[in-house]
Structure 1
């Protein structure tokens, strides 16, 4: 008898849960009265999509100006302007005499030659010369920024 009682209570509980779900969800399957609204015209829909922001030339120049203006005094001195060139010069001027000789300028090429000259003969064979080839990365394709009118 207790087994039947449990089944009866379980059946009533399930029925109440289903009824509650129907009331909560709404159970209103009738369509809304009145005509459907008109879809927006295509031109209006396209006008609502904003264009992505573009960096202006002024913004690029402002960033470039800030990179050069190391002391942040809103002006660029000759020393600030030539700083990157001076750093490149100093990298090549290995004996720090303030004069850039051809040997100092060609230090990378001399090192490349020495590395390729496996037999230390002072001359490169065809096989050794192949080791001096510079491998360049493929050029990035330019984006097509032309837009149809």
Structure 2
């Protein structure tokens, strides 16, 4: 008998929940939710609305395109596109033979290892290895003036 009572109670709860959801959807569709308050005109109550930010003249992609388009003909040729890679390759190609050996490619890492290897045994101890860590720059701290500083300047 108690199973029938629990089943009936569950059915009533489900039906009640369905009615609440249905009424909530009906309210949202009928527009009974209040619209946001209208923005004040710039002349009301002496407060001017701030101007919206102005977009830059060129988008980021337009500026990037302009950097690649060296001859400013409105198109990026293959040579223009690869120019930055050629410069980077030339910096790595220490002997200028047009071929990049492993030692030329890994020169920074090789130099860092040689500098860290204090006893020149071609292995790094934990102390030597610690000297190879990347030193990260700390984020610049913004120093805010004290709260009363602005009032003192205006006086």
- Please classify the TM superposition score into its range, dividing by the shorter chain length: 0.5 to 0.7
SS of aligned partner of 1:113: helix
Q: 1:100 to 1:139 in 2, by over 3 A?
A: farther
2:149 aligned partner: none
Q: 1:139 to 1:105 in 2, by over 3 A?
A: farther
Report deviation, 1:85. Answer: 0.9
Unaligned runs of 5+ residues in structure 2 are 1-37, 141-155
The CA deviation string for residues 16-51 of structure 1, in whole angstroms up to 9 with x for no partner, is: xxxxxxxxxxxxxxxxxxxxxxxxx97113784320
2:55 aligned partner: 54
**Structure 1 residue runs of 4+, over 4 Å off?**
none
Unaligned runs of 5+ residues in structure 1 are 1-40, 141-149
CA distance in 2, matches of 1:116, 1:63: 41
Q: 1:74 to 1:42 in 2, by over 3 A?
A: closer
CA distance in 2, matches of 1:133, 1:123: 16
Which structure has the larger Rg over C-alpha atoms?
Answer: 1
The CA deviation string for residues 57-97 of structure 1, in whole angstroms up to 9 with x for no partner, is: x5222211111111222221111111111111111111222
In the alignment, structure 1 residue 43 sits paired with structure 2 residue 44: no
- Aligned-residue Cα RMSD (Å) equals 2.6
- Name the structure, 1 or 2, with higher relative contact order (CA <8 Å, separation 6+): 1
Q: How many residues align?
A: 99
The CA deviation string for residues 92-132 of structure 1, in whole angstroms up to 9 with x for no partner, is: 11122222222111100000011111111211111111111
CA distance in 2, matches of 1:90, 1:42: 59
1:119 aligned partner: 119
Alignment of 1:19-98 (within 5 A): 43-45=40-42, 48-55=49-56, 59-98=59-98
CA distance in 2, matches of 1:139, 1:100: 36
CA distance in 2, matches of 1:120, 1:52: 59
Q: 1:118 to 1:72 in 2, by over 3 A?
A: same
